[in-house]
Amino acid sequence: MKWFRIWAIARKEFVHIVRDPRSLGMAIAIPMLLLVLFGYALTLDVDNVPVVVWDQSGSHDSRNFISHFEGSHYFSIRDHVRNYPEVERAIDSGQALAALVIPSDFADQIVAGRNVPVQMIVDGSDANTATIAMGYARVVALIYSQQIALREVQRAGGRVLAAPIEVRPRVWYNPDLESRNYIIPGLIAVIMMVIAALLTSLTVAREWENGTMEQLISTPVLGPELVLGKLLPYFAIGMLDVLLAVLMGEFLFQVPLRGNVALLFGMAALFLVGSLSLGLLISIVTKSQLLASQLAMVLTFLPSFLLSGFMYAISNMPRPIQIITYLIPARYFVALLKGIYLKGIGMEILALEAGLLALFGAAVMAVAIAKFKKKVAL
């Protein structure tokens, strides 16, 4: 294997990319556009839940209870309604996600020292948001109940009570609980997987469709040299995309990068080798640009998005699906990025993920080289 022949193939591919604005745009502009769109659109933070209130009591106690919701940044009181049809209309129209219904005897029941049933109607069409909103409401109600209990004890002349257990939570790695801090690193992995596979999935297929593969076959270039030469330009572009994505995460989304930058780019290089090799393998097998692009999308985007742990916790998946996730390279890269970005950990902890990523890249490249035959199919 001669490096000057590999460079000749790489130079030819570079010239083609530069002369084809569509390829260059797909290679650089699309990853940045996707990162911006998904970075701002994807969020798991539940703030300012819109709520309508039906206060049948109209008392000082009920208004005090409502003020606890108004004072929380998790809720936003949008309107006051007068009956259940108005509650239903507000939730059906999307004006409110939840409705707080306070009974007419709210104040009387509190004075009598009885439990008061307060109704919280929540739109369950978005199950995740509804569950989080109900949790917030329970906490607000619990705080208000504790204040009422302490007030009654003090009125009765008892000593000031203190909670027997005081929980002081301390959040590591993402103290503000900002979802973008772990969405952006995972998003980089998913986007790079898709773009890398899509780019190289067109290379060999394009040569067959343009009729230039016969010329390459007639040259003394060996199969491994052709595969490596095809990969090099896109590897350089991929690393440029990683650099731009890291800069966008740092300055556009303010995602903290606590780990080693060199380690981040080293792991990105391993991931790109595997992703690019997968796209090239698809191109070698299909020999059709249309089929190759469609197959690359199916084999990269859906598995990377759904089974990498980027959006959904792998531990919550059924056991057979958890086993399948071990075949998804984006799983390991997502774990590496989150560990480097948020935890600042190194190879002493991430060695297994890095080794599996390197194994995937080597295996796919070996299969791609073995599948490429320097002969014209009859």
pLDDT at 378: 45
Partners of 55 in the beta sheet? 102
Q: Tell me the C-alpha distance between 54 and 40, whole Å.
A: 34
Instruction: Work out the mean pLDDT of the chain and round it to a whole number.
Output: 86
In the chain, what is the straight-line distance between the N-terminal and C-terminal CA atoms, in Å? 27
What pLDDT is attached to residue 374? Answer: 61
pLDDT digits (tens, 9 = 90+) for 332-346: 999 999 999 999 999
How far apart CA 3 and CA 1 sit, in angstroms, is 7
Percent of the chain with pLDDT over 70: 95
In this predicted structure, what is the pLDDT of residue 260? 93
Q: Which two tokens stand for residue 184?
A: 């952006």
d(CA 212, CA 215): 5
According to the model, what pLDDT value does residue 195 have?
A: 80
pLDDT in tens, 181-228: 888 888 888 888 878 877 788 777 777 777 777 677 777 778 788 888
Question: Rounded to whole angstroms, how far apart are CA atoms 235 and 31?
Answer: 14
Contacts of 336 (CB under 8 A, 6+ apart): 267, 271, 350, 353, 354, 357
The residue among 280, 82, 86 whose CA lies nearest residue 198 is 280
Amino acid at 5: R
Give the rounded percent of residues in the chain with a pLDDT score beyond 90.
36
All domains in the chain, ordered by first residue: 3-43+178-371 (no CATH), 49-155 (3.40.1710.10)
The tokens describing 152, both together, are 């009654």
Please tell me the least confidently modeled range out of 127-141, 190-204, 297-311, 335-349: 190-204
The mean per-residue pLDDT over the stretch 102-117 comes to 88
Check whether 160 has a pLDDT greater than 60: no
